Structure 1
Amino acid sequence: MLQIYNKLTNQKEEFIPINPGKVGMYVCGPTVYDHCHLGHGRGYVSMDIIRKYLEYSGYEVRYIMNYTDVGHLTDNSEDGEDKIQKKAKKEKIDPLEVAAYYIRSCEEDFQALNIKPATFYPRPTKYIDKMIDFTQRLIEKGFAYESEGSVYFSVEKFPAYGQLSGRKTEELSAGARVEVNTAKKNPLDFALWIKARPEHLLKWNSPWSVGYPGWHIECSVMSCDLLGENTFDIHGGGNENAFPHNENEIAQSEALTDQKMANFWVLWNMVNVEGKKMGKSLGNFTTIKDALKKYNPSVIRLWIASSHYRSVMDYSEKSLSQAQKNLEKISKFVNHLEVKLTENNISNENPPAIDFDYYQEKFTEAMADDFNTPLALSLIYDLIGHFNKLETENKLTPLDFKNALSFWNKVNSVFSFDLQMSQERKIPAEIIKLAQAREEARKNKNFREADNLRDKLKEKGYEIEDTDKGFKINKN
């Protein structure tokens, strides 16, 4: 039974998909005005592992991640400057060129980190008409109003406001700064459409003004379009955006559809540097590209998986170095399994010494407990230690090697580590099958067939070395 921590209720709940066998998942993507940093990497690798575990469990996952290419203003305010436009002015290029450049950069990072491509990557600039329609419908339902060319969502019309963040409207009102935007009826109201200043570059015609969409409405519109105007299963994102971004998403989506937006809100935690959140605004970030200059991509994936997605991670060279050592440990183990399996024909005559059903069960238990990747990894390290001990004591059978590799391949379909393998183990499955068929022919005293198979292997660039323990494959 899969249990997921739901930020909406602040407790673990049994995951039951809305449609049997299928999962609809929307993840808030990056605002593309700079290269992604390790804080982004932590979030999107975590979501990738969650997605892959759902697929491992047999679900078909429709995975949506947007690229925010308009509407995210500096300081997350409504009267700041668009982050992409600010970058465009600095670089003296068109804002959409900025977005396109950093989307390509993000794609490069995600590919390097072995993050599976999303089903769709929507961009707000492609959804302007749908955002205008969404806003108009909210006005017609009485949840939004136009004022001085901008359109605002009326928070007081949505009594459930604050359900995700746990913030009450009374407390928010009491703590609000002196309101400088006189266009709003209430300081807590937030923009759905913003009238553009003359110097604003990204702007479109609307019934209310020449302007641009508010940041929060973008995810609501794109998730409705790609997952339907119904409740979907999982909404992912960073917990620093629970308020106001995710809170406002819920308000406008549920006001429009009269349905719950998402059943589960799965939010990852931040990466800290010396006690402070890693972020572009603080300038204390390490880009994924810079990290990849020093570390194998799978070292970074393992570093991320070594912490639970809801826990705060501390970035340090020490923690990444430890991840590198752990990856080398796993690589050495799997490499050893591969080499051993090329040396001997696998026979089912002797029962295995290790109960791999136990390890499979424990892996599932760990991952089914809110995707507990640190516990799942500790199980792998435990297996390596146990396996090495039994091998030293000469208690393993060929089936143990075969089962260990099979178990690893299943687990790694979730973790997606590209291991640092030696050239010795890179022997194609076709060659191994030919060698095993030759060994079987020798056992049956069919020496002509054995010689023919040896010749075939030689033609393909491999030699067979017969030993008293079986055979060994060598590449010419």
Structure 2
Amino acid sequence: MEQNIFVYNTLTRTKEAFKPLNPPHVGMYVCGPTVYSDAHMGNCRTYISFDLIFRYLNHVGYKVRYVRNITDAGHLEGDADEGDDKIAKKAKLEKLEPMEIVQRYTVGFHDVMKLLNTLPPSIEPTATGHVIEQIELVKEILNRGYAYEVNGSVYFDVEKYNATQDYGVLNGRNLEDLLNNTRNLGGQDEKRGKLDFALWIKAKPEHLMKWPSPWGVGFPGWHLECSAMSNKYLGHQFDIHGGGIDLVPTHHTNEIAQNVASCGHNPATYWIHTNMLTVNGQKMSKSLGNSFLPHELFSGDNKILSKGYSPMTVRFFMLQAHYRSTLDFGNDAMEASEKGFKRLMNAFSLLDGLKASATTEVEIAPLRQRCYDAMNDDFNSPVLIAELFEATRIINSVHDGKLKIDADNLQQLKDMMQVFIVDVLGLQNEVAANDDLPKVMDMIVNLRGEAKKNSDYATSDKIRDGLQKIGFQLKDSKDGTTWNKM
């Protein structure tokens, strides 16, 4: 199903027509988590956004190879070339092996991603599993003259690279501005320039995670792993490279430099970035005391929100904002999303019970096309959701007997809702997921029906009102009684 998709490209700062290098195949690389702590909400937003993109591209017929790495070595504190390895530091604190830390938080990350119903990537490589490839990449950059070795460490020569290339092509900054705004870092006496970054770092004797190399025992720099793994699994050039907007200034800028220096190509045609999270208008951060982890959001065990919200409500909330816009957490926003999600899924659950008429008062094809138009416009999930609420209005009107729909349009409506709610947005009906609940509710509805039949209206009303108090609504019509979760 061919679609004219337009994507906002950070590299050019414009929306561009999506033209894969080798259609119908699409290569997509997304920077994954550093597994030294629990996944945070910013991680969740990024991976839900790219899950949406992955799902939609697959839906319209592309064969997507989605690579998302696990950083389990080489990521130092402060995202720079100084301090301890984040994983090794946690291992020392807890008196564990680094790989125990890696295993614990990788499993935890996967558990959260499953709760949020994100599809697993096609390949999930690790930094420690690709040290050989990273060493080979350092050799290539050295051979091409864009790096230098000092006392067992290898650094990328940014100023030499910038003499023939634009180092700031992604972040839009020129070298002079970058130099003026760069603080002196540890190991600066070894570096030729303030912006030079480590490709390979000599390990101190006490360093836990280290490997032999042509330059001595050490470990790879953080930026190197993504270049090495994207090259291996997607080639020197592929279609989409993604991550959070915080990766643009340094990590992704350095990735481009490494790739151009080693093979002459910017690795990706389209660079896609998700925006940051805020809480009641303030940037979410540990230092401000306004951050919380996914399990704290689900359980309500946090100081910011008044109650917990289900994983599907959280997913829906995140998809109600465009991935490039700031997403603000707050009680009012979360409660509105919870109500909206339930309204959408309640309508979805009514579809199978709708009866077609001989004539129709509504045409579904234009609505369906508007759903595709929204997704084709840089994966605009909030506009898509607005269109699905129009479908919800139609479903409720047909159910209440206020609107007629023929069999053909009813089937189109069912297909459209299945595609965009389940396949593209990745939303699940949490009530329907409980296999026993529908049986229990049907039994209660039947008991109430018998009470009404016997003119026992007091019992009938008691059942209806009792269910309403615990969040279940009954609707009586000429075709019988239906129920939904409010």
- Taking structure 1 as the reference length, the TM-score comes to 0.85
Spell out the pairing of 1:372-383 with structure 2 (5 A cutoff). 372-383=380-391
For residue 393 of structure 2, what is the aligned residue in structure 1?
385
In structure 2, the residue corresponding to 1:383 is in which secondary structure?
helix
- Which one of 225, 229, 235 corresponds to residue 232 of structure 2? 225
For residue 467 of structure 2, what is the aligned residue in structure 1?
none
| Residue 181 of structure 2 corresponds to residue 175 of structure 1 | yes
In structure 2, the residue corresponding to 1:34 is in which secondary structure?
coil
Spell out the pairing of 1:417-436 with structure 2 (5 A cutoff). 417-421=427-431
Give, in whole Å, the separation in 2 of the partners of 1:193 and 1:144. 10
Spell out the pairing of 1:435-446 with structure 2 (5 A cutoff). none
For residue 115 of structure 2, what is the aligned residue in structure 1?
112
C-alpha distance 284-149 of structure 1, shift in aligned 2 (>3 A)? farther
Spell out the pairing of 1:248-287 with structure 2 (5 A cutoff). 248-279=254-285, 284-287=290-293
Give, in whole Å, the separation in 1 of the partners of 2:379 and 2:415. 21
For residue 66 of structure 2, what is the aligned residue in structure 1?
63
Larger CA deviation: 287-296 vs 77-86: 287-296
C-alpha distance 302-471 of structure 1, shift in aligned 2 (>3 A)? closer
Spell out the pairing of 1:301-316 with structure 2 (5 A cutoff). 301-316=315-330
Give, in whole Å, the separation in 1 of the partners of 2:291 and 2:91. 21
Give, in whole Å, the separation in 1 of the partners of 2:252 and 2:280. 27
Q: 1:265-294 CA deviation, whole Å, 9 max, x = no partner?
A: 000011112444334576642111222222
- Which one of 41, 45, 52 corresponds to residue 42 of structure 1? 45
For residue 448 of structure 1, what is the aligned residue in structure 2?
none
For residue 407 of structure 1, what is the aligned residue in structure 2?
416
Give, in whole Å, the separation in 2 of the partners of 1:303 and 1:259. 38
Unaligned runs of 5+ in 2: 300-307, 440-476
Give, in whole Å, the separation in 2 of the partners of 1:359 and 1:216. 44
In structure 1, the residue corresponding to 2:386 is in which secondary structure?
helix
In structure 2, the residue corresponding to 1:127 is in which secondary structure?
helix
For residue 168 of structure 2, what is the aligned residue in structure 1?
162
Cα deviation, residue 211, structure 1: 0.9
Contact 1:328 1:420 in 2 (8 A): no
Contact 1:113 1:297 in 2 (8 A): yes
In structure 2, the residue corresponding to 1:326 is in which secondary structure?
helix
C-alpha distance 387-425 of structure 1, shift in aligned 2 (>3 A)? farther
Q: 1:210-261 CA deviation, whole Å, 9 max, x = no partner?
A: 11100000100010011112x1000010001101000000000111111221
Spell out the pairing of 1:88-237 with structure 2 (5 A cutoff). 88-158=91-161, 159-178=165-184, 181-229=188-236, 231-237=237-243
Give, in whole Å, the separation in 1 of the partners of 2:481 and 2:316. 32
Q: 1:362-416 CA deviation, whole Å, 9 max, x = no partner?
A: 0011111111111110111122224434554533235254332221001121001
Identity level (%): 38
Aligned residues, how many?
427
Cα deviation, residue 306, structure 1: 0.4
- Taking structure 2 as the reference length, the TM-score comes to 0.83
In structure 2, the residue corresponding to 1:212 is in which secondary structure?
strand
Cα deviation, residue 111, structure 1: 0.7
- Which one of 342, 366, 377 corresponds to residue 374 of structure 2? 366
Larger CA deviation: 316-325 vs 357-366: 316-325
Cα deviation, residue 174, structure 1: 2.3
- Which one of 348, 351, 357 corresponds to residue 337 of structure 1? 351
Unaligned runs of 5+ in 1: 428-467
Give, in whole Å, the separation in 1 of the partners of 2:100 and 2:389. 46
CA RMSD of aligned residues (A): 2.4
